[in-house]
Structure 1
């Protein structure tokens, strides 16, 4: 796959402050989760064994009528900022919210994968159906 543009990975907090940015070589069928894992490994150095930390939670399948199907992995925290009742980590590819999880989102060559620490709106109708379901499941685990 030589000649393909790399994928940019970045994370930004709720004030739009960039927490980090890395470049990952494009690979066929690479997922957003694998982009994060690759960025972590590529950024490791002798003096920086943990360039950034993140945690995941597996949400499996949904039996919900509005959003039936596979939910997969969701990021629960990045750089110490946790998903909670006020914020969640929204996955965007080229500035567009993903309708799938970290392990089922496939960025193209040259894409920018962004994890945005996003405030949960007071009106759940402002969330996508998928995000609303993940937030309900998350709240049920807390």
Structure 2
């Protein structure tokens, strides 16, 4: 019974971000649009994805890759600041944070599903 519970929990961990995006994207976006806020569901999913990266990497590799991912996203922030300063000649903080946070979501979901694939691969080998 314990192995079945573990498998069900792992399947939920694997599929939850995609289910959230598919099922709740429109309703969350509509809710925040009514309040005149530019918050979208992917913006709210980033903390879950970061926690999932830590959990999945610990389960898959025996150690967390979260510190390395954190260094990567901080370096990404520096790159975005330099690119915006070069391209626009100035740094607009609102534009920077929105761009930066959306890039964090993109790289978080890619890393998350890379770890899901790696975890499934290690389960079957």
TM-score band, normalised by shorter chain? under 0.3
Q: TM-score, normalised by structure 1?
A: 0.21
Structure (1 or 2) with the greater strand fraction:
1
More helix, by proportion: 2
The alignment's TM-score, normalised by the length of structure 2, stands at 0.23
